[in-house]
Amino acid sequence: MADEPLVLGIETSCDETGVGIVHGTTLLADAVASSVNDHARFGGVVPEIASRAHLEAMIPTIQRALDTAGVKATDLDGIAVTAGPGLAGALLVGVSAAKAYAWALDKPLYGVNHLASHICVDQLEHGRLPEPTMALLVSGGHSSLLLSSDITTDVRPLGATIDDAAGEAFDKVARVLGLGFPGGPVVDRTARDGDPKAIAFPRGLSNANDPAYDFSFSGLKTAVARWVEAKRRAGEEVPIADVSASFQEAVTDVLTRKAVRACKDNGVDHLMIGGGVAANSRLREMAQQRCDKAGIVLRVPRPGLCTDNGAMVAALGSEMVRRDRAPSAFDLSADSSLPVTEVSVPHGDLHAHAHRALKP
């Protein structure tokens, strides 16, 4: 363990300023400053507010992480940062901070992919990832099935949502039900008192001819809104717990069925679930039951590591150092639409990214 890398990771892709410090696969600190309350009254994340909040929180959060870990910045073996995907202005704050620290401390800089970080964080909880690993990533911005044979170089997308992300559907349904923002945790809690079989909401892209690994949650969201609207128009009380439970059941049914199918089709016997929606209690329960039945080992990090945090970026950075992967150049740029296949942003890639950004 002594020669395992000590890496600080910075995450600012959305509304969480996360700074984590990892030694090998051991988590030493996970400091988070969230601006979620500043966005609540708008019903969604406001990019400009998020960027300003990152700027204010950045240095104190880095200091807090170093203090908690009990390490000096000069002891670090590298600085990792989310280079994308995410909100452009928000990412830029993290990338600029990471560059400044790496430059001043003379440490290697690793610009890494947010989605690969969501997968790699599980190493902090369950040890090194088996190769290959299937990953179901479900958050406010993403719903994807990814197959990885090496988390530092190879993440292959098998399927993704064609419209709303799973977390987005939770947030929108919560708004329809008047439950507040973010919707996932409150729908999860409310659903505990409801009947998941009360209302048969649609399961998107589940017919035989539909793409096996893609998702669609927009029709489900609309179906819930219509159902609630009809009740209200009829002057009847909306059974909020039943609607929450039945909606949640439809989402988790599709997610877990497709994830298990992807494992079976590709001969993969390890499934990890990450992203904010992986905190969902019913998703965890149903995934466990279906994986047990299919002989698949399920790995889900604890809820605090599933939502956006700096530890996940540090976890991937640490793995990059351990495997001797090339650091990023100091012309590293934030890329709001960084493809999932680009696990890290290597040397001198500025022109490739600028070029892609110019494409329509």
Residues that bind ligand KG4 (CB under 6 A): 14, 139-141, 167, 170-171, 182-185, 188, 275-277, 279-280, 307-308
Per rule CB under 5 A, is residue 308 in the interface with Zn ion? yes
Q: By CB under 5 A, how many residues form the interface with Zn ion?
A: 2
Q: Which residues contact 56 (CB under 8 A, 6 or more apart)?
A: none
CB of 188 to ligand KG4, least distance (A): 4
CB of 193 to ligand KG4, least distance (A): 15
CB of 197 to ligand KG4, least distance (A): 19
Neighbouring C-alpha atoms within 13 Å toward the C-beta of 334: 23
Q: Pick the closer one to ligand KG4 by CB: 228 or 312.
A: 312
Q: Pick the closer one to ligand KG4 by CB: 192 or 197.
A: 192
Per rule CB under 5 A, is residue 335 in the interface with Zn ion? no
Q: Pick the closer one to ligand KG4 by CB: 35 or 307.
A: 307
CB of 151 to ligand KG4, least distance (A): 17
CB of 78 to Zn ion, least distance (A): 21
Question: Hey, is 35 helix, strand or coil?
Answer: coil
Q: Pick the closer one to ligand KG4 by CB: 6 or 176.
A: 176
Give the number of other CB atoms < 10 A from CB of residue 49. Answer: 15
Contact 156, 148 (CB under 8 A): yes
Q: Pick the closer one to ligand KG4 by CB: 36 or 212.
A: 36
CB of 170 to ligand KG4, least distance (A): 4
Which residues, 28 to 57, sit near Zn ion by CB under 5 A? none
Which residues, 128 to 187, sit near Zn ion by CB under 5 A? 139
DSSP labels, 53-121: HHHHHHHHHHHHHHHHHT--GGG-SEEEEEEESS-HHHHHHHHHHHHHHHHHHT--EEEEEHHHHHHHT
Q: Pick the closer one to Zn ion by CB: 5 or 274.
A: 274
Q: Which does 328 bind (CB under 5 to 8 A by kind): ligand KG4, Zn ion, none?
A: none
For residue 52, CA distances in Å to 38, 89, 254, 311 come to 11, 9, 37, 22
CB of 179 to Zn ion, least distance (A): 21
The helix (H) or strand (E) run that includes residue 1 is none
Q: Pick the closer one to Zn ion by CB: 301 or 327.
A: 301
Q: Which does 151 bind (CB under 5 to 8 A by kind): Zn ion, ligand KG4, none?
A: none
Distance CA 218, CA 148 (A): 28
Q: Which does 246 bind (CB under 5 to 8 A by kind): Zn ion, ligand KG4, none?
A: none
Distance CA 60, CA 19 (A): 10
Task: Tokens 């409310």: give the residue.
Answer: 190
Q: Which does 81 bind (CB under 5 to 8 A by kind): ligand KG4, Zn ion, none?
A: none
Per rule CB under 5 A, is residue 12 in the interface with Zn ion? no
Per rule CB under 5 A, is residue 113 in the interface with Zn ion? no
Q: Pick the closer one to ligand KG4 by CB: 309 or 344.
A: 309
CB of 143 to Zn ion, least distance (A): 11
What per-residue string of b and e applies to 323-360 under the rule 16 or more CB within 10 Å gives b? eebebbeeebbbbbebebebbbbbeebeeebeeeeeee
Which amino acid is present at 359? K
84 forms beta bridges with 113
CB of 208 to ligand KG4, least distance (A): 28
Contact 195, 242 (CB under 8 A): yes
Contact 221, 169 (CB under 8 A): yes
Q: Which does 164 bind (CB under 5 to 8 A by kind): ligand KG4, Zn ion, none?
A: none
Binding positions for Zn ion, rule: CB under 5 A = 139, 308
